[in-house]
Amino acid sequence: MIDTRIRWCPACGAALEILDRFGRQRPVCPRCGYVVFFDPKVVVVTVVWQGEQVLLARRNMEPARGEWSFISGYVDRGEMVEDAARREVCEETGLTVSVDRLVGVYSTAENPFILIVFSAELRDEAQTLKAQDDEVSELMFFALDALPTLAFPTDTQILHDWRTLRNAPQ
């Protein structure tokens, strides 16, 4: 799928054309030859756990508004992915966590995101859990045997992989 929002060459300002380049249809400048490559966004997803419970956030934005998913957000340029995971958790929940391991890396051809998923343990159980920004309407720790329906198919795979890593009962 070609993103048609970029219509002008960022190098010289000429109107772009869609041409075959490097095995795909891409926006190309007929004047200077500049090829526009659409890089995927990198997203960190954090499975925050405490005992035998995981933290889920009720999404307050599309896609899947009102459904439950893991804490996630974009990695900033120049930011270490583990730092991004801790930052996103703090920004959305007010909690401080210790990232303990990589769960996996997930991507699909139809999704413009690469998900880097970490497991993180709550550092101090006395912390106050509170939705901190407008991306999340509610936060809750759920027992592994009492999870709500998850927002995205990838969430189910992430949970399975996380449980496998922890040797938790399935």
Contact 113, 41 (CB under 8 A): yes
Contact 113, 63 (CB under 8 A): no
Contact 136, 58 (CB under 8 A): yes
Which one is catalytic: 52, 79, 91, 138? 138
Q: Is 17 a catalytic residue?
A: no
Residues 167, 164: Cα–Cα separation, whole Å: 5
Number of Cβ within 10 Å of residue 112's Cβ equals 13
Amino acid at 61: M
Q: How far apart are the first and last CA of the chain?
A: 37
Query: Which active-site residues does the annotation give?
Result: 138
